[in-house]
Structure 1
Amino acid sequence: MDVKALLRTHPAWLDHLESLGGFDLAFPADLPSELLRLAVPHEDVNAVIAARPEPGSAQWWLAERCAYSLVSTMGALDDPPPFRVLPELGPYFYVYVYLAALPHTRRYHRELGIPEEVSWATFTDLGRNMAVHRKRHGTGGLHAPHWFMLHARGILYELGRLQFNRGRLSRAVTTDGMPVGPGDPALGVHIPDFHGPLTPKACDASFEWARRFFPRHFPEEDYRVMTCGSWLLDEQLARYLPADANIVAFQRRFHLLDRFDDSDMLSFVFGGDATDLSELPRRTRLERAIADHLASGGAWYGRIGWLHF
């Protein structure tokens, strides 16, 4: 496999990787136990183990540099070039990149005094996104491999029902009414799949946890707002769902700003069942709302919202 030929379609990423030195790729001695601890689905464990890259191979070269890219930017808010989906690497290549980087992430967490429970809750998003991949595609793999870069670099933390990532307010976000401007610190709010109902009580606990967690562990970062960009904030959902629905209650927390196209909504809700819009299942109230709205000629959007830290 000519890895560099594959990467030439992503020249900025290739330049970044070639600028890095080698990295000591070390994988857990008890790999099956480590994978299960990271919530890797049982049906993927044997396939992941079989896909381990061989020392001296082109995949090994790339894995070294991808892992070094993570470790060399640990904790930094300026992101390195994102990992790309390259089918030629196989479905589990990035799992090994993250396995090599996680001991360094754990050390970073310990230096900051991050509790072990938070570290491991955060890391198990690796297995969760493998489950998301199977839900959406029906095959093994890691969904959106660039996403876990935030976890591995010490940027994102799972605090109860919600996840929060350290960051800065994007210049693309309208800031009307916000007490901050583009480039100022802002926490991103994320709602992971496979994590139970989005109840107001669970969300209250997560937001309160975040308000204690980040000043304690990142006192130099002055967060005043949290932002969320999600299809869950599309105000059209309130037309179909009861006023006391969890999604509607979640929307009410936010001051809503920009609308954007969100092609991820259908696959998030329906998984592999979203291939034919005319045959969308209507098993739940949410599925009926989404399918009926589309059948009537409507469209769904993502929405950006903010709330005070």
Structure 2
Amino acid sequence: MTEPGLPPADGLPAALLDLGVPHLDINPLVAVRTRLARDRGLRRTFEEALEPQSAAVGTLGRPAGLPPHWPEADGAVGRYLPALLFVALAPQVLAWHRALGIPPEVSRSTLADLGRQLTVYRRRHGEGGLGAVSWLTLPFRGELYQLGRLQFQRYRLRAEEAPAGGSPAAGEWCLNLHVPDFCGPLGPGACDRSLAAARAFFPRYFPAEPYRAACIFSWLLDGQLARCLPEDANIVRFQRRFRPLRPNGAPSDDDPLRFVFDDPGVPLARLPRDTALRRALADHLRSGGHWYVGSGWFPL
């Protein structure tokens, strides 16, 4: 039986490779697809989850409405089913991209975030699956694009994020920057090229959305990093691009622990110190300090 949006089992590997899925995950995903074809109840749940996501393609700010693991399935089936949902969405997203004239190479690099997130899950948990389900709704509904080193999210600044009485103002269109993993150093040249691509891309394909600023909300913008890392470190040079948006909120130690060490639950004494960044993050936490999600912006 053919499931909505999914290629047949013998055509699934090629579709997965087009989405950057690691070879290690292909056979397990084919096996889960076979289970989906045989299990009528699971297939009905899959179709019910797919329907609102399909309706959201081309929209902004829609709630994800997806569980990180399928409650009706256990083990590898539950961990992998969300990935198949994005595979099923891909043809519709690609058709929407083509209708806008978005180049195929941008579509490929953007939707390959599925493969990246499968890799991140395996690195963190030691087994196959997909955890960043809500995040992946951004590229798979047309809200986020990867252009070179950086990802850019079509975004309207919220009132609580805008500087009081300043610029950019609440409700203003702002390209929300994200720094994807497995893309090499965050060097100034790579960032410059990525930003130049974004300045050309968004006016061309989204002319009704006037992007005059770029913004970011990330632990990478915690100003304490500039005191812990060499002044020529890529993160420090990246920070210098931005003007402050709002003061830091509550501590958010889990963010660097998750993104740099892969596990917020690791005892501080066991955190590895094999890079300058890891040493800075670990030593600061061991001394009783905290890390924060910083925010910044610059005009485009």
TM-score by length of 2: 0.90
Identical counterparts, % of pairs: 45
> Is the partner of 1:60 in helix, strand or coil?
helix
The equivalent of 2:4 in structure 1 is 25
Contact 2:173-2:212 at 8 Å conserved across structures: yes
Alignment correspondent of 2:17: 36
Tell me the alpha carbon deviations over residues 223-281 of structure 1, each in whole angstroms, 9 at most, x when there is no partner: 12211111111110111111111000110111123324432210210124961211111
Structure 1 residues 41 and 272: alpha-carbon distance in aligned structure 2, compared to 1, 3 A threshold:
farther
Q: Is the 8 A contact 2:273 2:282 kept in 1?
A: yes
1:19: which partner in 2?
Answer: none
- CA deviation after TM superposition for structure 1 residue 94, in Å: 1.0
Going from structure 1 to structure 2, the CA distance change for 1:151 and 1:244 (only over 3 Å counts) comes to same
Displacement of 1:139: 1.6
Closer, same or farther: CA 61–87 of 1 in aligned 2, 3 Å: closer
Does 1:78 find its partner at 2:61? yes
Equivalences, count:
287
Deviations 1:40-69 (A, max 9, x none): 122211111111223663322222232221
Give the drift of 1:71: 2.1
* Number of the residue aligned with 2:282: 291
Q: Deviations over 1:118-155 (max 9, x none)?
A: 00000110000011111212221113111111111111
Give the 3 Å change call, closer, same or farther, for CA 274–87 of structure 1 in structure 2.
same
Name the counterpart of 1:46. 27
Over the aligned positions, Cα root-mean-square deviation in angstroms equals 1.9
CA contact (8 A) 1:227 1:306 kept: yes
| Residue 185 (structure 1) aligned with residue 176 (structure 2) | no
**Partner amino acid for 2:179?**
I
Partners of 2:79 and 2:161 in 1: how far apart?
A: 34
Does the aligned pair in 2 maintain the 1:238–1:248 contact within 8 Å?
A: yes
- Give the Cα separation in 2 of the matches to 1:230 and 1:117: 27
Query: Alpha carbons of 1:293 and 1:78: their partners in 2 closer, same or farther (altered >3 Å)?
Result: closer
Pairing partner for 1:281 from 260, 269, 272: 272
Aligned partner (choices 209, 213, 217) of residue 197 of structure 2: 209
Q: Verify the 8 A CA contact 2:118 2:128 in the aligned structure 1.
A: yes
Deviations 1:45-98 (A, max 9, x none): 111111122366332222223222122122212313432223534101111111
- 2:247 maps to what in 1? 258
- Cα deviation for residue 283 of structure 1 reads 0.4
In the other structure, the counterpart of 1:108 is 96
Paired position in structure 2 for 1:20: none
SS of equivalent to 2:156: coil
Answer yes or no: is 1:61 the counterpart of 2:77. no
Amino acid at match of 1:78: G
* Divergent runs of 4+, >6 A: none
Unaligned runs of 5+ in 1: 1-22
Mapping of residues 144-183 of structure 1, within 5 Å: 144-176=132-164, 178-183=166-171
Do the aligned residues in 1 keep the contact of 2:69 with 2:131 (CA within 8 Å)?
Answer: no
Q: Which amino acid aligns with 1:148?
A: L
- CA 1:274–1:161 in structure 2 vs 1: closer, same or farther (change >3 Å)? farther
Contact kept? 2:58, 2:141, Cα under 8 Å: yes
